[in-house]
Amino acid sequence: MTRHLVVIAAGLSNPSTTSLLGERIADAVTAQVGGRGESVSVEYIELRDLAVNLAHAMTTGGLPDPVLDQVKRTVSAADGLIAVTPVFKASYTGLFKSFFDVLDQDALVDMPVLIGATAGTPRHSLVLDYALRPLFTYMHATVLPTGVFAATEDFGADGSELERRINRAAGELATAMVSTQTGVAGFMQEGLGAGPVPADQGGASSSVGGARRQSGTELKPAVTDFTTLLRGHDGS
């Protein structure tokens, strides 16, 4: 079975150490899932490429955007999520927050999420626990115990400590992705939360522990046309 992993990176530069961290974590997850006899398809989402779309969504009340809607569907249908951001002003970037602000409230229900961050100094490492973890907990995702923080010095000659953290976190996400037949967060039975999650084949949403994971790209209920609304009141 092939599991689907999505990597969301909020780096602003190109190349970006934030994107590099996301790629290294994804490679480690792929290797560990492969060691369990399964495969992973990885999709990378660079938020800097969606900056204009996100600005329009935030200022127009969420009018449909084909590009952004496809990204929303991709995220809500994933078996696992890696979310990495640079640290600006002691927290995640505005671009990172804007993306999760436009997601449906139920887009990440019970999804295993591995959080990561980059910064110039190790003194920002607590951002994982005081900023990122509460954000995803609020969205009812299952945030994995180990987050990965990388300071500039971690990308130096000796990256063994960063590699150790990456492998530990990747092991947790790999376990979360392969523990059930559906590939979504079944290992929560092993001490981290709710039971197995059946997959939905509809594309726009998936069934999650009795709840419905929603991409938010479909209008429900259907919009009533004006002819019906004005019937009997249009002078005819």
Degrees to nearest 5, angle at CA 159 with 158 and 163: 150
What pLDDT shows up at residue 188? Answer: 38
Residue ranges covered by each domain of the chain: 2-229
- With tokens 């190790």, the residue in question is 122
- DSSP one-letter code for 143: E
CATH for 2-229, options being 3.40.50.360, 3.40.50.1110, 3.40.462.40, 3.90.226.10: 3.40.50.360
Taking only the tens place, the pLDDT of each residue in 73-116 is 999 999 999 999 999 999 999 999 999 999 999 999 999 999 99
pLDDT digits (tens, 9 = 90+) for 139-177: 999 999 999 999 998 987 677 899 999 999 999 999 999
Type of residue at 18: T
Prediction pTM value: 0.81
For 182, list phi and psi in degrees, rounded to 5: -85, -15
